[in-house]
Chain A
Amino acid sequence: MAQVQRQGGPSGGGLAEVIDLILEKGIVIDAWVKVSLVGIEIVGVQARVVIASVDTYLRYADAVGQTATAAMPSPA
């Protein structure tokens, strides 16, 4: 059976677990058309999502390629 565990405290999760939510989710006020509201842009957050790209494909290919080396019988 998989190890099952709670992250953070039982009282509702530690800061680490909730940071992504606070930064990326929730109501967003459009900063570009605001007049009486000032939005503060957090940059660099989206970059953490793994986006499929040529780099990803090459990385996957190499990662799987390495399993071949591992699986190959060592020369006698």
Chain B
Amino acid sequence: MSNIQSEGARPESDEPTTGVYLYAVVPESPSVDLGDGIDKHHVYTIGENSLKVVVSDLPVQKKLRPERKNLAAHQAVLSRLLDTSPAVLPFSFGTVADGVDGVKKLLASHHQELIDQIQQIRGETEMTVRLTYTAESPSMFEHLLAQHPELVQQRDQLFGPGSDATREEKIDFGKAVETAISNMREAYGRQIEEALAGHVRDVKHLPCRKDNELARLACLVDKSSVAGLEPIIQEAGKGFDDRFALEYAGPFPPFDFALLHIKAPDADLG
């Protein structure tokens, strides 16, 4: 991990550099006290009118590691915000501004972008849904082969008695397997999406990260629909037999629907 700071670009000042740790952008100041955040610094907001940034102080020199304590503190603030704010546009973990002015500049220079994003996620939360293949026998690969007789045939040619597959042959075969897995994942993802249709505002299909993970969906859900979604997910589970597990989590701030990548304000540099 590196802690990248730009040198020589700070405004001339004798004040100690108090950094500001960023949690989220919200449309109005929270009505409740948000308690403490990272390093037990009190959480407050910066900004005017329709955009506020939820922050807490943090010395910029401090190295902030993605350790459990810090992640938990970040999540706790977001969780309290989600309960009380009409829209929560979260920052990625570890975003530190080197002062209140920097945050104000950020708001000013990206005002419209942030307003647009806030509008899109107003009243929304994120739920994630994940399909995994859990049976050991038949294995996930056996399950795949059952739907692809052509792969069985190729397998028997390459790995049957007396055969000696070359590296190139194996790579070509592996590609065919990969294509089949991708198609299977796409089909399962679509099946889940269709089962949830009408109950979610938007769906994003996320890349799977393990062989036996067959679908990972981020769903944008109205806050008022969260409770009603659970029986729908239960129902979606009936579309799969007991070799599968369908897990869901949330509500979270809509991270997967807040993928702004913005440049820090650099007006001072000229």
Residues of chain A within 8 A (CB-CB) of B246 are 2-5
Residues of chain B within 8 A (CB-CB) of A28 are 91-92, 95, 259-262
Query: A26–B174 contact, CB under 8 A?
Result: no
Q: Identify A64's interface contact among B10, B126, B151, B256, CB under 8 A.
A: B151
Query: A67–B155 contact, CB under 8 A?
Result: yes
Closest to A16 in B: B249
Taking the nearest CB of chain A, how far is it from the CB of B57, in angstroms?
14
- Of the stretches B29-37, B44-52, B66-74, the one at the interface is B66-74
Residues of chain B within 8 A (CB-CB) of A59 are 174
Residues of chain B within 8 A (CB-CB) of A56 are 174, 178
Task: Evaluate whether A29 and B79 lie within 8 angstroms (CB atoms) in the complex, with A42-B66, A61-B170 already known.
Answer: no
Task: Evaluate whether A2 and B242 lie within 8 angstroms (CB atoms) in the complex, with A26-B91, A61-B171 already known.
Answer: yes
B-side interface residues toward A, CB under 8 Å?
1-6, 9-10, 19, 22, 25, 60, 64, 66, 68, 71-72, 74-75, 78-79, 82, 89-99, 101-102, 105-106, 126, 128, 131, 134, 139, 141-142, 144-145, 151, 155-156, 158-161, 165, 167, 170-175, 177-178, 181, 207-211, 230, 233-234, 236-253, 255-256, 258-266, 268-269
Closest to B104 in A: A36
Task: Evaluate whether A15 and B173 lie within 8 angstroms (CB atoms) in the complex, with A27-B89, A28-B260, A36-B105 already known.
Answer: no
Q: Identify A12's interface contact among B158, B165, B251, CB under 8 A.
A: B251
Residues of chain A within 8 A (CB-CB) of B131 are 2
In the bound assembly, the distance between CA atoms of A44 and B45 in angstroms comes to: 31
Residues of chain A within 8 A (CB-CB) of B233 are 4
Residues of chain B within 8 A (CB-CB) of A33 are 263-264, 266
Bitwise, A15-54 to B at CB < 8 A (1) or not (0) is 1011101111111111111111111111100001110101
Task: Evaluate whether A54 and B262 lie within 8 angstroms (CB atoms) in the complex, with A2-B240, A8-B249 already known.
Answer: no
Identify whether the interface residues of A are mostly helix, strand, loop, or mixed: mixed
Residues of chain B within 8 A (CB-CB) of A52 are 178
Taking the nearest CB of chain A, how far is it from the CB of B169, in angstroms?
8
| Residues of A within 8 A of B (CB-CB), count | 60
Query: A27–B262 contact, CB under 8 A?
Result: yes
Task: Evaluate whether A68 and B160 lie within 8 angstroms (CB atoms) in the complex, with A1-B240, A5-B245, A42-B94 already known.
Answer: yes
Closest to B8 in A: A35
In the bound assembly, the distance between CA atoms of A4 and B211 in angstroms comes to: 19
Closest to A23 in B: B93
Given contacts A1-B238, A22-B90, A41-B2, 14 further A-B contacts (CB under 8 A): A2-B243, A4-B247, A7-B248, A11-B79, A18-B249, A21-B252, A27-B91, A28-B95, A36-B101, A36-B102, A40-B4, A61-B158, A61-B177, A65-B159
Closest to A65 in B: B159
A-B pairs with beta carbons under 8 Å apart, 17 shown: A4-B233, A5-B246, A7-B249, A22-B92, A23-B71, A26-B255, A27-B89, A28-B92, A30-B263, A31-B4, A39-B264, A42-B66, A42-B94, A43-B2, A49-B207, A57-B171, A57-B175
